[in-house]
Amino acid sequence: MTINTQDHGRAIAPAARALDVLGGETTEAGLRRYLEGIPGVDAVGLEQRAAALATRSIKTTSKARALDTIISLIDLTTLEGADTPGKVRSLVAKAVTPDAADPTTPRVAAVCVYGDMVPAALQALGSAHAGAAGNGIAVAAVATAFPSGRASLPVKLADTADAVAAGADEIDMVIDRGAFLAGRYGQVFDQIVAVKEACRRPDGTYAHLKVILETGELNTYDNVRRASWLAILAGGDFIKTSTGKVSPAATLPVTLSMLEVVRDWHRLTGEKIGVKPAGGIRSSKDAIRYLVTVAETVGEQWLRPELFRFGASSLLNDVLLQRQKTLTGHYSGPDYVTID
């Protein structure tokens, strides 16, 4: 259902979370009043806290565990127009066996591909797929006219439904940033609600929904905070920073701001929402900073695939090199990792 923003008394598509938090006032005006009533972000304070967290060091004995944790939280990603089934099979092989020389290396959380590549990913995963035992590697698919989101709602829903029907475990959708920046919060809300419903499988279960805010286009921390609340109210299971196609992508202050929303939501409702920074995180050093920020903001209980992910393609290589250095005391040559 599309919102008429001039009809301030019209009810927006219901979501159980919104009904509870908004006290049943599911109207465009009620949603706007709630979001615009959220306290503004102290940008200087946020950036100073992120900078302070980035200086935290971890003991050498903890570094090996941190590196293994990072690997287990990665959505190993290929989202290029030139993707082929062969490239996806290579990606899956790396996801299943990140380091062929060390069988103790953990597997990644998921592989993330375009919807038409889901069957190739599932075939390549075989018994390693999360659907086989519930604890394997998931298949995530981007949808809703990724990365721009510039398509009609029926097209976005068909894009989502096709990926779910193909077997995707998770859907990474993009919000309509134009609608959000124009203040049409109800329209964005309705689209997330509709996409969530399109994630429903025939057995009544749902593919997990990650809502991409594309924070690099939202311009302010206040907008990031409002968009985070909006995505959660509408039923998102995760809030995700970026498509990786816009600069800046993930940054530590933006991710901290989103984590603070997740923390506040948990305090308000008891429900845990996931966070996924994506794009631009390429080094182990940077990834460890994110682990520290998560632990200090929402707690170490969030450092598991159900609640935190890194969207990355090249990060894994650096983590593998650093892991080898930690275990053996020396760096391996560049041929130790595959070229993505």
3-state secondary structure string, 272-331?
A: CCEEECECCCCCHHHHHHHHHHHHHHCCHHHCCCCCECEEECCHHHHHHHHHHHHHHCCC
Domain-embedded: residue 10: no
Domain-embedded: residue 56: yes
Per-residue confidence (pLDDT) for residue 14, from 0 to 100: 81
Domain-embedded: residue 132: yes
Contacts 24+ apart (CB under 8 A), 122-127: 122/166, 122/167, 124/88, 124/89, 124/92, 124/93, 125/92, 125/95, 125/96
Domain-embedded: residue 270: yes
The rounded distance, in Å, linking the Cα atoms of 91 and 137 is 12
Per-residue confidence (pLDDT) for residue 318, from 0 to 100: 95
What's the alpha-carbon Rg for the chain, to the nearest Å? 20
Residue appearing with tokens 């290929």: 78
| Whole-model pTM over 0.85 | yes
Element housing 185 (H / E): helix 185-198
Domain-embedded: residue 233: yes
The mean pLDDT of 139-156, rounded to a whole number, is: 97
59 pLDDT band (50/70/90 cuts)?
confident
Answer whether residue 10 shows pLDDT above 60: no
Q: Which amino acid is at 317?
A: N
Token code pair at residue 337: 């990792």
List pLDDT tens digits, range 298-330: 999 999 999 999 999 899 999 999 999 888 777
Per-residue confidence (pLDDT) for residue 6, from 0 to 100: 38
Torsion region of 335: left, alpha or beta (phi above 0 gives left; psi -120 to 50 gives alpha) = alpha
Number of domains in the chain: 1
At 204, phi and psi to the nearest 5? 95, -10
List pLDDT tens digits, range 241-295: 999 999 999 999 999 999 999 999 999 999 999 999 999 999 999 999 999 999 9
Per the DSSP assignment, residues forming a β-bridge with 138 are: 110
Per-residue confidence (pLDDT) for residue 226, from 0 to 100: 98
57 pLDDT band (50/70/90 cuts)?
confident
Q: What positions carry a catalytic annotation?
A: 172, 240, 276
Domain-embedded: residue 97: yes
The rounded distance, in Å, linking the Cα atoms of 272 and 237 is 8
CATH of the domain at 123: 3.20.20.70
Is residue 232 within 8 A of residue 259, CB to CB? The reply is no
Domain assignment of residue 162, given as a range: 16-330
Residue 7 vs residue 127, higher pLDDT:
127
The rounded distance, in Å, linking the Cα atoms of 237 and 199 is 11
> Mean pLDDT, the chain, as a whole number?
92
Q: Which amino acid is at 17?
A: R
Element housing 224 (H / E): helix 221-233
List pLDDT tens digits, range 190-200: 999 999 999 99
Domain-embedded: residue 336: no
Per-residue confidence (pLDDT) for residue 238, from 0 to 100: 98
Domain-embedded: residue 335: no
Residue 59 vs residue 182, higher pLDDT:
182
Answer whether residue 4 shows pLDDT above 60: no
218 pLDDT band (50/70/90 cuts)?
very high
